[in-house]
Structure 1
């Protein structure tokens, strides 16, 4: 076996020391252990079974449950035994509200103390197995009000957002932590650098911590995490999740025995969320990370499934655009799956990439990862490309007009026959998404369908499309929905099927070292694919009363025409030659929104002034080459 640390001095060889009359053995004995780097990456030379395990508690700066006591944040630490002999290591931290309730990962792992000694025997996820032997410490932190922490969850409000900051302050000597016996514990083994990682809620906590600008947080790796909680439960004024969802989730992540204690906190959340109108208020501003990106210094490796219907892709795009505006060091992976971890989508490449990322940012190893293309994107099942950036360089916002007839070249034509310059449809509060999309050549009273001719060349969009229409309604309110569709038979990742694009197998592979309680082995996956005649590419909705501002609803005057503009979800998609592009306009969109429009308005659209703006790689020239 390789020794867990190097011996000798970098400049003077053992032979030179002997000539000088100095004992090489004495010098080596005084030198602290170090990591071992081969081929540009840290090597697994430290033990896992003998790693030091601790559960620590740090007093926070807040009192979420208003009991007169500051909340205590609990976290579990695993670090190499060599840290007792002077090895300085960075930290990989996953802060989560789920460790003792919904658990983590595709294998649904919870924190488990098998022998009842107050220390973890089973550590969720694979980070401990893989990184501790390579000279890292791993911290699994219980967000406020969850696990072994006190207080109550507030669903991405201040107390949630700065829970992990308490541990980072301790790591860097700015806070006090104690063990279960009440003894003060210092992080004298820490090298001063911490990286945070996590999927979904955990990913949002990583971003929430980063935008505080806390010193010592060097990098973050958010995976499918909400960046604007308004966008998680709203979309342009429309409530997209059930009433009181924010307080509902706070209850889900609270340990059952504490739910009654936290009921007043949840009641206050429910009273302030504004479900009755869907407008943007200070309640949501507290739960926004995009606005706070100017405070951020930590680099970002961002991962998102472009077809994620849980944490939709606009969370990724808005955060990414803000990172670019503030010149934050960054990389991006975009997959074809839904709400899926890259460990379960592109496992080997992801592990290797994450390893090099942390080695660079936390260990200071020069391995060239920041010289590589900024974007990795999955074009089809397990077919990946790299590009210099995202959106793809050369993208230009390109107007494609909605036209009233089926004759003439270019554009998107109302089908199936020529129509006047205005056309109408009726709201339908229960019309299914399938009904909206299918049979685009058939007139339906509850939608308008526009189709291109078969494309004469591929058309690549990359970025955020925008819908612009001029319309009137015969009611004081209505919703608007739009779907961008690829009509063409093809095999695609089946991201809306069970598993969100993956099939979990019974076979396992192992990553890192382990023991009988935590072997570090996980079920493998394969992509779920299906062949279909169409693909929902992207979609968007808005409340017509929020046409001026998300902060204030303004009723419509029945019969009066207005300009309505709203974004679709971001996309990166290639329409193949021979396929047709479809734009479907509707009012209520029940499969996107839990809040069906109750007005059942009749809507009239002015086609002379209506268009979709597509982020086309190559701009107008590429659109014309494809026949638009």
Structure 2
């Protein structure tokens, strides 16, 4: 395996010694030791937490090997010095690497270098006192085979339990916060934040439930920052009623009436509303009236609860115990999300309950907030950042939507999020309207909710798929300029739920905002990566939040690379780069020629395919999307040969696609309707990553001692395959100019179109071929009308522009 650590902070010896003292590895008991072997023994004694006696400690030592011939107990009792070899043999075992598998006792340094573990600077084959202290410091900061730093693994064994209640403030090591706060003594409380909206139109400002977990030390005056996750799923979901609203996608593509719309015609403009007056405050308290037993937590947040951070969860308007109605991403939802931040920053009222208007402040808050979460949760973090709200210091935006049109639509077409054909904004609104789960409350709001849900269904406009005012209200790009918080983005390059365009537009949209921006791109789908073995993601976030929320000058801004991307060919390999998807990247132009992609001559051929399948094949693909995908791109299969165009290059030299592939075509339809879909394919027999990460150990990562766990996972190779879909895109031929302007489509008339595929970063190995598949119906995403439509393409006026990456790995 390879150890990819991007969050190790360069630290000088004086700082290392001070931090080892703070961690109680250097103590009054060992500070006078002048022999490195004695100090090394004491370090081990402090690390073997389960060995409570001298005999138990020596028994533990005897289970380790120091050299190929001596166990660690024998070595320590028979040597006066500690050799580099013996130290790193021991270190590798402490880090849970296996001899004869991961390293050899004869040459541990070779394994250290191969696994990419830090080796202390040394001048001889034996360690002096300072070299030992430095080597132990780096060992504590190093990831073990299970993807956890040695110090965090010691924490999971109880190393920091004696610190509970003694420190009273965050303890730092290597620029990161340590778990010195007892998570079993967390204060749990519920408050109701008054937002500046009345979405259920009941004549009262909406109250929003917030669940708070904070260290017990806040009761003694400690001010802490807050990690806030806005999750509409937090209070429960209505899966059954949501399923009933799913839309039928086995419907024909419809002709749209042409228009001459300009953006100003469909632009969303918020109309000021007369709001009810704020509630009259009837008193103030510092103790909440309501608690809770267990929140619907996020394991990354769990990790920070023992490290001096408070965590807040809020589901927002239209959820159980809150007021209002669901709106799926519009400005009202942003207002709801931001209201919690304003309360944490001291700029908004909250109450102990929804009845008697007794105010409670976030008196324990240091008024600095970070937002975390994936998918809808990360989306609301992005939305909140676009408000420029005071107190929001940073967002960690994972697999987040930056425009809801790019989630449910593409190129003038209704496009399903991957895996959810038939879902739309109204379905999601119903699923997250958890006020339904409380019948007494729902009875009062039912007429209002039915009205709102009908409005969403009509305004989302599944008939045309066009960009309209409804979608413009849910486009956060328009307010990127307002983002003042630093942004750390995480996204899967194979995420076809929240497609990569969402993060790419955020990445490029805030380039000139004068904020820190970082991005991590992985090879997964719609997943979290905080429990991966091969990358120190949790440490990256710890370094980031310690800097952002605790105000520690730990150089997070320069230590964490701007761009980290997981390699798609080699497992457990992550590289850092200076940028991603820059429009200035060089491009390779390919021309279309029958079944080839060529870079030299231009041929003028007319190529055709028909979208209609036999009833038998059509219905099979409706029920087996995976089989359709295989037949679509399989060069050796002729099942769809007449229903697609497939082009490949010759075998190519290794290349890296970096950004947005552009396809320019001259195309005609034999009807006044038409759509095209595109897939870029890597052809070549190879072992490729499995679609989902492999579970290495259930509950394999403890957040700290006797505290919540997470599953340890990693991407591993599957069996050899002949191809891999790299990216895709879609367009309605009537939306040739843009997604809100509809043009006529004369049958059998050729029109130029330009389509931007989803951005990516993909390494094509040497000897593989690059392929392009042009087709119409996408059985996983588009409507499926099985219409008798014939498409024609003129190759002489068509090309494909592939953006390439030329920068070296940093």
What SS does the aligned partner of 2:183 have? Answer: coil
Q: How do 1:278-357 and structure 2 match up within 5 A? A: 278-346=465-533, 349-357=536-544
* Residues 1:398 and 2:571 aligned together: no
Distance (Å, rounded) in 1 between the aligned partners of 2:739 and 2:458: 19
Q: CA deviation at 1:138?
A: 0.9
Q: CA deviation at 1:555?
A: 2.4
| Pick aligned residue for 1:251 from 402, 420, 430 | 430
What SS does the aligned partner of 1:228 have? Answer: coil
In structure 2, the residue matched to 1:600 is 788
In structure 2, the residue matched to 1:219 is 394
Asked if structure 2 preserves the Cα contact closer than 8 Å seen for 1:133 and 1:513, the reply is no
In structure 1, the residue matched to 2:271 is none
Distance (Å, rounded) in 1 between the aligned partners of 2:361 and 2:308: 19
* Residues 1:143 and 2:316 aligned together: yes
* Residues 1:520 and 2:655 aligned together: no
Between 377-386 and 313-322, report the one with greater CA deviation. 377-386
Change in 2 beyond 3 A, CA 1:354/1:322 = same
What SS does the aligned partner of 1:198 have? Answer: coil
Between 383-392 and 529-538, report the one with greater CA deviation. 383-392
Asked if structure 1 preserves the Cα contact closer than 8 Å seen for 2:491 and 2:500, the reply is yes
* Residues 1:98 and 2:233 aligned together: yes
Q: CA deviation at 1:3?
A: 13
Distance (Å, rounded) in 2 between the aligned partners of 1:125 and 1:412: 55
Between 425-434 and 457-466, report the one with greater CA deviation. 425-434
* Residues 1:506 and 2:698 aligned together: yes
What SS does the aligned partner of 1:199 have? Answer: coil
Change in 2 beyond 3 A, CA 1:405/1:208 = closer
Change in 2 beyond 3 A, CA 1:379/1:609 = same
Give the TM-score normalised by structure 1: 0.84
Q: CA deviation at 1:125?
A: 2.0
Distance (Å, rounded) in 1 between the aligned partners of 2:335 and 2:716: 38
Distance (Å, rounded) in 1 between the aligned partners of 2:521 and 2:548: 21
Distance (Å, rounded) in 1 between the aligned partners of 2:347 and 2:23: 30
* Residues 1:422 and 2:606 aligned together: yes
What SS does the aligned partner of 1:355 have? Answer: helix
| Pick aligned residue for 1:234 from 405, 409, 429 | 409
| Pick aligned residue for 1:119 from 291, 300, 305 | 291
Q: CA deviation at 1:64?
A: 1.7
Q: CA deviation at 1:119?
A: 1.6
What SS does the aligned partner of 1:162 have? Answer: helix
* Residues 1:449 and 2:646 aligned together: yes
1:355-403 deviations in Å (ceiling 9; x for gaps): 1110011111122221132111111332211112213798323321112
* Residues 1:206 and 2:381 aligned together: yes
Distance (Å, rounded) in 2 between the aligned partners of 1:127 and 1:179: 28
1:132-168 deviations in Å (ceiling 9; x for gaps): 3222111111221123222221111122222221111
In structure 1, the residue matched to 2:576 is 386
Change in 2 beyond 3 A, CA 1:50/1:3 = farther
Asked if structure 2 preserves the Cα contact closer than 8 Å seen for 1:403 and 1:411, the reply is no
Change in 2 beyond 3 A, CA 1:246/1:394 = closer
What SS does the aligned partner of 1:342 have? Answer: coil
In structure 2, the residue matched to 1:188 is 363
In structure 2, the residue matched to 1:434 is 630
Distance (Å, rounded) in 2 between the aligned partners of 1:465 and 1:393: 11
Distance (Å, rounded) in 1 between the aligned partners of 2:326 and 2:184: 34
Change in 2 beyond 3 A, CA 1:121/1:606 = same
Which has the larger share of helix?
A: 2
Larger Rg: 2
Between 178-187 and 46-55, report the one with greater CA deviation. 178-187
| Pick aligned residue for 2:307 from 106, 110, 134 | 134
Give the TM-score normalised by structure 2: 0.66
Give RMSD over aligned pairs.
2.8
Change in 2 beyond 3 A, CA 1:412/1:447 = farther
Q: CA deviation at 1:528?
A: 4.9
Structure 2 unaligned spans of 5+: 1-19, 25-166, 239-288, 622-627
In structure 2, the residue matched to 1:477 is 673
Asked if structure 1 preserves the Cα contact closer than 8 Å seen for 2:698 and 2:710, the reply is no
Q: CA deviation at 1:192?
A: 2.1
Distance (Å, rounded) in 1 between the aligned partners of 2:402 and 2:600: 35
Asked if structure 2 preserves the Cα contact closer than 8 Å seen for 1:475 and 1:599, the reply is no
1:98-120 deviations in Å (ceiling 9; x for gaps): 112259xxxxxxxxxxxxx9422
In structure 1, the residue matched to 2:688 is 492
What SS does the aligned partner of 1:371 have? Answer: helix
Change in 2 beyond 3 A, CA 1:325/1:597 = farther
| Pick aligned residue for 1:35 from 170, 177, 182 | 170
Distance (Å, rounded) in 2 between the aligned partners of 1:405 and 1:317: 31
What SS does the aligned partner of 2:797 have? Answer: strand
| Pick aligned residue for 2:659 from 463, 468, 471 | 463
Asked if structure 1 preserves the Cα contact closer than 8 Å seen for 2:699 and 2:709, the reply is no
* Residues 1:591 and 2:764 aligned together: no
Q: How do 1:14-25 and structure 2 match up within 5 A? A: none
Q: CA deviation at 1:187?
A: 1.8
Distance (Å, rounded) in 1 between the aligned partners of 2:736 and 2:453: 31
Asked if structure 2 preserves the Cα contact closer than 8 Å seen for 1:506 and 1:523, the reply is yes
In structure 1, the residue matched to 2:725 is 536
Distance (Å, rounded) in 2 between the aligned partners of 1:212 and 1:613: 36
Between 307-316 and 503-512, report the one with greater CA deviation. 503-512
Change in 2 beyond 3 A, CA 1:412/1:465 = farther
Q: CA deviation at 1:513?
A: 5.0
Q: CA deviation at 1:587?
A: 1.7
* Residues 1:89 and 2:224 aligned together: yes
Change in 2 beyond 3 A, CA 1:395/1:38 = same
What SS does the aligned partner of 1:532 have? Answer: strand
| Pick aligned residue for 2:197 from 53, 58, 62 | 62
In structure 1, the residue matched to 2:749 is 560
In structure 2, the residue matched to 1:28 is none
Asked if structure 2 preserves the Cα contact closer than 8 Å seen for 1:454 and 1:578, the reply is yes
